[in-house]
Structure 1
Amino acid sequence: MTARVREFNAFLRDYVNLNQGRVNTLQSRVSSLDTFLGDDSSLSDLVVDDLIPQGSFAHKTIIRPYTGNDFDADVLLPMEEQQDWEPKKYTVELQKALEASSRYRAKTTLGKRCVTIDYADDFHIDVVPFITRADGSSYITHRIDNEWIRQDPVALTEWIEQSSRVTSGHLIRAIRLVKYLRDRTSLNVASVVLTAMLTERVHSFAGVDEYQNVATTLVALVEDLHDYIGPMTSAPWIDDRIGQNLADRLTHTGFLNLQSQLKTWARKMRTALDAPADESIERWQEVFGDKFGASTSAELALAAAAAPLETYEKREAPGEQSLERDHHIPVRLDPRARFRLIGRMSATRRAAGRYRPMSATGNHVPIGRSLSFTIEGCTVAPPYDVYWKVRNAGAEAVERSNLRGEIVKGGDKMTEHSSYAGNHWVQAWVVKNGVAVATDLQDVTIVSN
C-alpha cells in the first residue's frame, strides 16, 4: 500500500482546493454583509444573530470551480418571525434592504428561497432568511409557493463536523476529491447529497484504521458507498438530520449514473492504493488525470521557495511542542477512552449572553469573540490530567510571530479570544497514570472583518 501523502497534498493544493486568496475574499465579503444586515440595513431590528454559513461553505468542501463556472457561498440570515408577514415576504424584504445600499444595488437576484448577490470576481453569495418560529423549529421560506420549509442546516453541519473528527479531517478532503471527479463527468448529484452520502459511510466504532491518511479514507468511503448502494434499484433515504430525505434532490437517472461511477472509481482507487510504489502514481492518474503527481521533487521545492509565505497550516511550526518529545508523556490512545472537545464563541449584541457552539457555523468565528473550550462526555474515570495546545496558523500569525504551539497542563475548560484571521486549532489530551489515552481537536477558522 502506497499512500502518496505528498502527492495528494500537492494535488489538493494546486488543483482541487479553493485557493486561499479566494477564500479570504469570500470570508471578507460575508463579514461585510453580516455587518450591513445586522447594523445598517432596514432589516437590522429583525436580525437576531450572525449570518450562519451553510452548505459547502460551512462544511469546508468548496472546491476550485471547473472551467467556466463560478463558486458560491450559502449563508442563513437569522430573523425574528413577523406575525403579519407571509413566508414570501422575507426574501422580498431582504432584497429591498440590499438594493437600498450603494454597495449591493443592482447586484441582487430574487430567487425562490434566497437572494443572490453577484460579485465581479466569479462568485456569488446566496442569502437565505432563516426563522425560528413559535413552535421552536427552524424554517426557511419558499417565495413562489409562499410556504414555510422546515430545515435545520445547523444540525447537518454539526453532524458532518463530528464525523470529520473521526477521520482526523480526511473526510473533508475526500469529499473535495469526489466533487472534483463529479465535475469532470456527466454526474448530476448535488453537493449536499454527495456530502451526506459519504459522511454516512464514516464508522466511529473502535478499531477503525481506514482513516490514516487522505488515500485510505477516500478508498474506504468510496468502496463503502459503492457496496451500500450498488445492489439498490432506487436511491436510499438520506437523512438531513431532522428526518427529511435529501434523496428527493436526486433523480433516478442521477442515482443510476452515481452507481455506475462509484463502481468504476472504487475499482480504480483500490488498484491505485494497493499498487507498488513504482506504479502507484500512474494508477492514481487513471483516477484523477495526468495532473496528479505530475510535479517532480525539484518542481515542488521550487514552488515552495516561490510561495509568498509559509503559513504552517497542519504542519509543525517552529517551537511547536510535542507531548512525547517535550513533556515525556507517551501517547497510547485507548479506543475505550473518549471525550469531545467542544468550542463555543460569544454572541453578538444581537444574541446577547448566548454562547454558540462553533460547529454550528462550520467552526467559522469572527474576530473579537470570547472563546471557550471544554472537555465533555469523557469516558476516562477521574482522576486524570488534561493537557492543552493552542496552535495558530495563517499569514497574520506568521507576521506577528505568534504561531504558538506550546502544551500546558490545565483543567477541563480553557478560554481564548479570536484576535486575527487564519485557520487555527485547539487540541487536548486526557492523561491517565502518566499516559495520554484520549485526544480530540477543535478547528477554529477566524474570519477577518
Structure 2
Amino acid sequence: MKLVSLFDDFLKETVNLNKTRIDLLEASIPALKSFVRDSDWKPKVRTFMEQGSWAHETIIRPVDGGEFDADLLVMVDPVDGWTATEYVESLGRVFSGSKTYEDKTKTWDYCVTITYAGDRKIDLAPCVVGRLWEGSMEVCNRKDSFELTAPIEYTEWMKERNAYSGNNSFRKVTRLVKYLRDIKETFTCPSVLLTTLLGNQIQWFERGTDEFADVPTTLKTLIGRLDDWLRMYPSKPTVTNPKLPSEDFSALFGTDEQYTNFRNVIARYRKWIDDAHATEGRQESIKAWQKVFGTEFAKADLVKVAADGVSESNSTSLVSRFLDSTAAHLGGIVDVVRDYGLSILPASFARPAHMQTPRWRSVPQPTDIAVYAEWRSASHVEVGRPVIAGQLLTPQGGLYFRAALVGGAPVPLEYYVEWRITNTGAVAMTARAGRGGFEVSNKSNGRWETLAYRGIHMAEAFVVRRSDDVLVGVSKPFYVVIE
C-alpha cells in the first residue's frame, strides 16, 4: 500500500527540518551578512546566495539530534593578484579575530564554518564572480585553485525536476533518501551526488504521469530507475553536473568498494520499496515500510515492527528478542542490523554492564573525536580499504583504527590516545571474558583489531593530555558488525 498520509506525517514529524530550527537559521543569517559587509575584508561583496540542501529545500533534520549544516556563498569581485587560498584564509581571519565569532570559527578548504553550540553550522564560502569572464563563478579551494561552479543554474535544474514530478514529490523523495542514508548508515553518498542521480531519472515529458502520482510512488519510480541505471555500470560511471558539463561528480562515490556497496544497497532497498508498495493490508504495509525507514515510520499506528512470525501483542521488538543484560546477544541481531541499520539498536546497547568506565579526570565538555577504520588483510599490511561504522564484515583480516580531530586533522603530539574495545555476542563474551576495557595504541598511533567473532562490537577513542592526564576528547562508538 502507498499510505500517502502516513508518508506526509513521517516527513513532517521526523524527516523535515522543523520550523524552529529553520527560524533560528534564518535569524542568524542577517548578522553574518552584516558582519562580513562591515568588516575590513578586502574583497568587495556583491551579494550572498544560499547553496546546497538549504537552497534546494531538501535539508533534513539530523537523525542523531545534532547540528545541521547550511551553506551560504559570499559572492565577491576578484582582487588583483589574490590566490584562491587568500580568499578563504583571509575570511577565516576576519571571523576568528572577532570577539563575537572567535570561538565559533573553523576554516576549511572551501569555507569558513560558524558553529552555534549544539544546534547548527553555517558554512560561508567565497565565490569569485567575473575573474575569467563576465558572469563566471568560481569557488576557492584553500589548496590554491579556483573551481568553476554554477550554483544558480543547478538550483534551477533541481526546481525543474521538482516541477516535472509534481506535488513537490522530487524534493520530498530526496529528503527521504537522505534520511535513509543517514539513519541506516549502510552506504555513503554526498547530497549533491544523490540529488543529481535522482534528478536524472525524471524527464520533462513525464509531468502528470502515474509514475509520479504521489510521494511513495515517486520514491518507487526513482529508486527503481536508479537501480536500473547503476546495473549498467559495474565500475564508477561519469556523473556530470547537469549545468556545468566540465564538472564530474563521480569522485564523490569514494573508492571502488564504496561504489560497489552503494550499487548493491540501492538494489536491496529497491526490492524492499517495491515489496512495501505492493503489500496489501494496512498493518502489513506499515511493517514493510518500516523495514525501509525504521520504526519511526508510522510510529503512531504501529509502535514496533514485529519480527518474522512474532505478533505485536506479545510486545517483542525486533531487537529485544536477541538481547539480554549480559550483552551476550544471539547472532541473529547481526541480520537485523544488516536489514534495518544501526538505528534499530537501543541506546543502552552502547553501554553494556561489562564495559569499563574511563579512569581519567575530564574537562567539562570533551571535544568530539572522529574514528576512521580501514580493513587490512593482516596487521603487517600498510594499505587497505576504508570501512564505515555498521558496514557488514566477514571474520577475516582486521581493522586498523585511527583517531583524528573532526575534519581529519591528526591528534597533536601533546596528547595520547587510548581505545576502549568492547565485545558483545555470546561467542565473543565466552572467548574474551566480556572484553570491554582500555587498550593502548598498538600500530602507527592507531589500534589494530582482528575480525573474529560474529556480533556487534565497539571501538571508542579517548584523547588524554600528556601533561596532566586529563581527558579532553571522546569519540562516539564505532560499531563493527561481523557476520
Instruction: Name the residue aligned to 2:262.
Output: 258
% identity of equivalent residues? 31
Secondary structure of 2:73 counterpart: strand
Quickly say closer, same or farther: Cα 1:15–1:68, change in 2 above 3 A.
closer
1:271 and 1:86 map into 2 onto residues whose CA distance is 54
Q: 1:107 to 1:276 in 2, by over 3 A?
A: same
Distance in structure 2 (CA, Å) of the matches to 1:42 and 1:209: 56
Partner of 2:41: 43
Distance 1:276 1:258 in 2: 29
Asked whether the 8 Å contact 1:37–1:44 carries over to 2, the reply is no
- What is the alpha-carbon distance in structure 2 between the residues aligned to residue 230 and residue 109 of structure 1? 40
- TM-score, normalising length: structure 2: 0.58
CA–CA distance in structure 1, aligned partners of residues 301 and 2 of structure 2: 17
Task: Please tell me whether residue 293 in structure 1 is matched to residue 290 in structure 2.
Answer: no
Point out which structure has higher relative CO (alpha carbons under 8 A, 6+ apart). 1
Q: Which residue of 1 aligns with 2:248?
A: 245
* Cα distance in structure 2, aligned partners of 1:89 and 1:54: 22
Residue 84 of structure 1, CA deviation:
2.4
TM-score calculated relative to the size of structure 1: 0.62
Q: Does 1:204 align with 2:204?
A: yes
Instruction: Determine if contact 2:43/2:78 at 8 Å carries over to the other structure.
Output: no
State the Cα deviation string for residues 143-192 of structure 1 (Å, max 9, x = none).
Answer: 12x11111112221111111111112111110111111111223111111
- Classify the secondary structure of the residue corresponding to 2:211: coil
1:134 Cα deviation (Å)?
A: 3.8
Q: State the match for 1:224 in structure 2.
A: 225
Contact map agreement 2:55 2:155 (CA 8 A) in 1: yes
Query: What is the one-letter code of the residue matched to 1:141?
Result: C
Residue of structure 2 equivalent to 1:143: 142
**Equivalences, count:** 293
| Greater mean deviation of Cα atoms: 212-221 or 252-261 | 252-261
RMSD between aligned residues = 1.8
Alignment partner of 2:113: what SS? strand
Any idea what SS the aligned residue of 2:25 has? Answer: helix
Aligned to 1:15: 14
Aligned equivalents of 2:294 and 2:132: distance in 1?
52
Q: Give the secondary structure class of the aligned counterpart of 1:205.
A: helix
Alignment of 1:89-168 (within 5 A): 89-132=86-129, 133-136=131-134, 137-144=136-143, 146-168=144-166
Could you tell me which amino acid in structure 2 is paired with residue 174 of structure 1?
A: V
Q: Which residue of 2 aligns with 1:64?
A: 61
State the 1:44 CA deviation: 7.7
Q: In the alignment, which residue of structure 2 is the partner of 1:392? A: none
Is the contact between residue 140 and residue 151 of structure 1 (CA under 8 Å) also seen in structure 2? yes
Tell me by how many angstroms 1:267 deviates: 0.8
Q: Give the SS at the match of 2:33.
A: helix
Deviation at 1:73, TM superposition (A): 0.7
Q: Residue in 2 aligned with 1:52?
A: 49
**Counterpart contact for 2:66–2:118, Cα < 8 Å:** no
Write the distance in 2 (CA, Å) between the matches of 1:60 and 1:92: 29
- SS for the counterpart of 1:234 is coil
State the partner residue of 2:195.
195
Letter in 2 for 1:247: S
Q: What stretches of structure 2 of length at least 5 have no aligned partner?
A: 303-483
- CA drift at 1:265: 1.0
Per the TM alignment, residue 68 of structure 1 is displaced from its structure 2 partner at its CA by 6.5
1:45, CA displacement in angstroms?
6.5
Q: How far, CA to CA, are the matches of 2:299 and 2:5 in structure 1? A: 12
Amino acid at match of 1:280: S
Q: The residue matched to 1:257 in structure 2 has which SS?
A: helix
Whether the 8 Å CA contact 2:170–2:218 is kept in 1: the answer is yes
State whether structure 2 residue 3 is matched by structure 1 residue 4: yes
- 1:175 aligned residue: 174
Deviates more, 1:272-281 or 1:243-252: 272-281
State how far apart, in whole Å, the 2-side matches of 1:118 and 1:235 are.
35
Contact in 2 for aligned 1:174/1:217 (Cα 8 Å): yes
Structure 2 counterparts to residues 341-356 of structure 1, below 5 A: none
Deviation of the 1:201 alpha carbon = 0.7
Matched residue SS, 1:148: strand
Contact 1:55–1:73 under 8 Å retained in 2: yes
CA distance in 2, matches of 1:105, 1:93: 14
State the 1:276 CA deviation. Answer: 1.5
Q: Which amino acid aligns with 1:277?
A: G
Question: Corresponding residue for 2:389?
Answer: none
* 1:275 maps onto 2:279 in alignment: yes
SS in structure 2 at match of 1:233:
coil
Could you give the per-residue CA deviations for residues 279-319 of structure 1, whole angstroms, max 9, x where no partner exists?
3212111211222112149xxxxxxxxxxxxxxxxxxxxxx
Unmatched runs of 5 consecutive residues or more in structure 1 = 298-449
SS at match of 1:270: helix
